[in-house]
Amino acid sequence: MNICLVGINQHTAPVAIREKAAIRSEDLGEALELLRSQASHGVILSTCNRTEVYTIPGDNGSFERASFNFLKTHLDIPETSLLKHAYILEGEEAVEHLFRTASGLDSMVIGEYEILGQLRQALKTAESLGMVNLPLRHIFQSAIRIGRRVRQETGISKSPFSVSSVAVELAVKVLGNLKSCRMLIIGAGEAGKLVAKAAKDRGVSQIIVASRTQARASNLTEMLGGIPTSLDNLEEKLATCNIVVACADAPRYLLDVSRMEKTMSRRPELPLVIIDIAVPRNVEPAVAGLKNVFLHNIDDLSQISEQNRRQRELEVRKVEKIISAELAKFAAWWQGFKVRPLIRAMMSRAEEIRRSHLERTVKKLPELSDDERFHLEMMTRAIVTKILKEPVQNLKTKKSDNNDYAAMAKELFQLDEEKY
Structure confidence by residue, pLDDT tens digits, 155-206: 988 866 788 988 998 898 888 888 999 999 999 999 999 999 999 999 998 9
Binning the chain into helix, strand and coil, the percentages to the nearest 5 are 60, 15, 30
The partner residues of 209 in beta bridges, in order of sequence, read 185, 228
SS (H, E, C) 170-199: HHHHHHCCCCCCEEEEECCCHHHHHHHHHH
Residue 133: what pLDDT?
93
d(CA 89, CA 64): 8
pLDDT band at 6 (very low <50, low <70, confident <90, very high): very high
In a domain, 52, yes or no: yes
The domain spanning residue 249 has which CATH number?
3.40.50.720
Longest dimension (CA), the chain: 109
Task: Determine contact, residues 319/154, Cβ cutoff 8 Å.
Answer: yes
Residues 284 and 404 in one domain: no
Residue 1: what pLDDT?
67
In a domain, 320, yes or no: no
Among 159, 188, 205, which residue terminates a domain? 159
pLDDT band at 311 (very low <50, low <70, confident <90, very high): confident
Residue 220: DSSP 8-state:
H
Burial profile 67-106: b = 16 or more Cβ within 10 angstroms, e = fewer: bbbbbbebbebeeeebeebbbbbbbeebbbbbbbbbbbbb
Q: Mean pLDDT across the stretch 280-297? A: 95
Could you give phi then psi for residue 376, rounded to 5 degrees?
-65, -40
Residue 248: what pLDDT?
94
Q: Mean pLDDT across the stretch 65-70? A: 80
In a domain, 326, yes or no: no
Residue 417: what pLDDT?
59
pLDDT tens for each residue of 114-156? 899 999 999 999 999 999 999 999 999 999 999 999 999 999 8
d(CA 41, CA 126): 9
Residues 234 and 122 in one domain: no
Q: Mean pLDDT across the stretch 412-418? A: 64
Among 140, 159, 178, which residue terminates a domain? 159
Residues 42 and 133 in one domain: yes
Residues 246 and 380 in one domain: no
Task: Determine contact, residues 305/111, Cβ cutoff 8 Å.
Answer: no
**What is the domain range of residue 134?**
4-159
Residues 258 and 173 in one domain: yes
Residue 398: what pLDDT?
66
pLDDT band at 419 (very low <50, low <70, confident <90, very high): low
Q: Is 48 a catalytic residue?
A: yes
Question: Which of 316-325, 333-342, 409-418 is the most confident on average?
Answer: 316-325
Burial category of 412 from C-beta neighbours within 10 Å (exposed 0-12, middle 13-18, buried 19 and up): exposed
In a domain, 314, yes or no: no
d(CA 42, CA 25): 16
In a domain, 328, yes or no: no
Q: Mean pLDDT across the stretch 239-245? A: 94
Task: Determine contact, residues 197/172, Cβ cutoff 8 Å.
Answer: no
In a domain, 310, yes or no: no
Residues 211 and 110 in one domain: no
pLDDT at position 413 over 80: no
The domain spanning residue 144 has which CATH number?
3.30.460.30
d(CA 243, CA 204): 10
pLDDT tens for each residue of 85-105? 999 999 999 999 999 999 999
Question: Does residue 366 have a cis bond before it (omega within 30 degrees)?
Answer: no
Could you give phi then psi for residue 326, rounded to 5 degrees?
-70, -30
SS (H, E, C) 102-158: HCCCCCCCCCCCHHHHHHHHHHHHHHHCCCCCHHHHHHHHHHHHHHHHHHHHCCCCC
Residue 152: what pLDDT?
94
Coil, helix or strand for 37? coil
What's the one-letter identity of residue 240? Answer: T
pLDDT band at 80 (very low <50, low <70, confident <90, very high): confident
Residues 244 and 138 in one domain: no
Residues 12 and 155 in one domain: yes
Q: Mean pLDDT across the stretch 215-227? A: 90
pTM of the model: 0.79
Task: Determine contact, residues 323/93, Cβ cutoff 8 Å.
Answer: no
d(CA 265, CA 259): 10
In a domain, 190, yes or no: yes
pLDDT band at 293 (very low <50, low <70, confident <90, very high): very high
Burial profile 226-250: b = 16 or more Cβ within 10 angstroms, e = fewer: bebbebeebeebbeebbbbbbbbbb
Residues 153 and 225 in one domain: no
Among 115, 138, 159, which residue terminates a domain? 159
Residue 239: what pLDDT?
92
Instruction: Please choose, from the candidates 194, 203, 206, the residue with its C-alpha nearest in 3D space to the C-alpha of residue 172.
Output: 203
pLDDT at position 301 over 90: no
pLDDT band at 402 (very low <50, low <70, confident <90, very high): very low
Residues 370 and 393 in one domain: yes
Residue 213: what pLDDT?
85
pLDDT averaged over the chain? 88
Residues 16 and 154 in one domain: yes
Q: Mean pLDDT across the stretch 264-292? A: 94
Instruction: Please choose, from the candidates 259, 215, 253, 216, the residue with its C-alpha nearest in 3D space to the C-alpha of residue 234.
Output: 259
> Which is more confidently placed, 404 or 176?
176
Residues 343 and 196 in one domain: no
d(CA 412, CA 46): 47
Compute the half-sphere exposure of residue 394: CA atoms within 13 Å on the CB side of its CA: 12
CA–CA–CA angle 11, 15, 19 (5° rounding): 120
pLDDT tens for each residue of 193-210? 999 999 999 999 899 999
Q: How many domains does the chain have?
A: 3
In a domain, 317, yes or no: no
